Amino acid sequence: MQLRESTDQLTGVTETLMITLYARAIEAQRSESILSDCKAVEIIEHLDYDFSKYEQGWGSQLGCVIRVKILDRIVQNFLETHPSAVIVNLGAGLCTRFSRLDNGEVRWYEVDFPEVIDLRRKLFQETDRHRFVDKSILDFSWMDDIQRSPNQPMMILYEGVSMYLSEADNRALLLQIGDRFAPVEVLFDVISRKLARGTKQHDTVSKTSAEFQWGIDDSKALETWSPNIIRKQEEFYLTQFLDYPQRLPIVWRMVAQLFPFIPLALFKNSSRIVRLQTGTHIL
């Protein structure tokens, strides 16, 4: 019998990495999948963890893979223009994006808590171009571990992370990134203020001890945090729920058919992907 890796060290926010991992693995095994992620399927087979508590979270599962697909596209487009760029993935968890997007030139860093990186090293191969940094993203000394040549294009992304940080922490993180790395692109997702108040009602996060701390209803407000921050792109990715009506619960399916503007408004306002530029010139 194969021994599985313990996940007892993952509690609170770190446990939420299992939600996105499970979402990708389940999607990869669907006959008509939105996302192919064989690595995620392989990983869950090596973990000692009860994923069954997320089985009823259809919204999280579908939302996660739509978000992953869009983020993949944005990063891939960036790499097509800047093939030898530096990519930094904050709060990386067990993200498999490097395996999907590696072009043979990019330098890619995965940054997360020591206990997460310890588990990651048991499941992924670290290389000269794919490095792991075992520090909290709020311990800004992780920036010292990033090797970047002068004027080398750079993108920093964090997926499913901002909502677990306070507004002050999110602001400090963005300002530190700008001070240290500008010009740099920053790509992340945010949730609405209403959703941020509803951790206990969330279909998967409520199954952990993590708590949402921050939401925002107008991403344009991020530009007020610094005169050097420019919003380049915004995608209301959950509106794509309506592209997969067969995946919606029957009640939502009926509402979407009769009054499509209702779910469209709800899905649009709850979550979005934001792409910022910080620095003196646009990459």
Please report the pLDDT score of residue 279 as a whole number.
80
Contacts of 150 (CB under 8 A, 6+ apart): none
Dihedral (Cα; 76, 64, 3, 13), 10-degree rounding: 110
Q: What is the pLDDT of residues 15-53, one digit of tens each?
A: 999 999 999 999 999 998 999 999 999 999 999 999 999
Please report the pLDDT score of residue 263 as a whole number.
62
- Residue 257 confidence (pLDDT) above 80: no
Please report the pLDDT score of residue 269 as a whole number.
80
d(Cα 77, Cα 185) in Å, to the nearest integer?
13
pTM: 0.93
Give the distance from CA 128 to its chain's centroid: 23
Angle at 198 between CA 239 and CA 203, to 5 degrees: 65
Q: Are the C-beta atoms of 114 and 137 separated by less than 8 Å?
A: no
Q: What is the pLDDT of residues 63-122, one digit of tens each?
A: 999 999 999 999 999 999 999 999 999 999 999 999 999 999 999 999 999 999 999 999
Assign 78 to helix, strand or coil.
helix
Residue with tokens 């959703």: 195
Name the residue type at position 74.
Answer: I
What is the set of domains in the chain, with CATH numbers?
5-278 (3.40.50.150)
Q: What is the pLDDT of residues 122-165, one digit of tens each?
A: 999 999 999 999 999 999 999 999 999 998 999 999 999 999 99
Q: In whole angstroms, how far apart are CA 98 and each of 106, 186, 189, 213?
A: 9, 17, 18, 28
- Average pLDDT over every residue of 195-223: 96
Nearest partner of 178 among 113, 139, 223, judged by Cα: 223
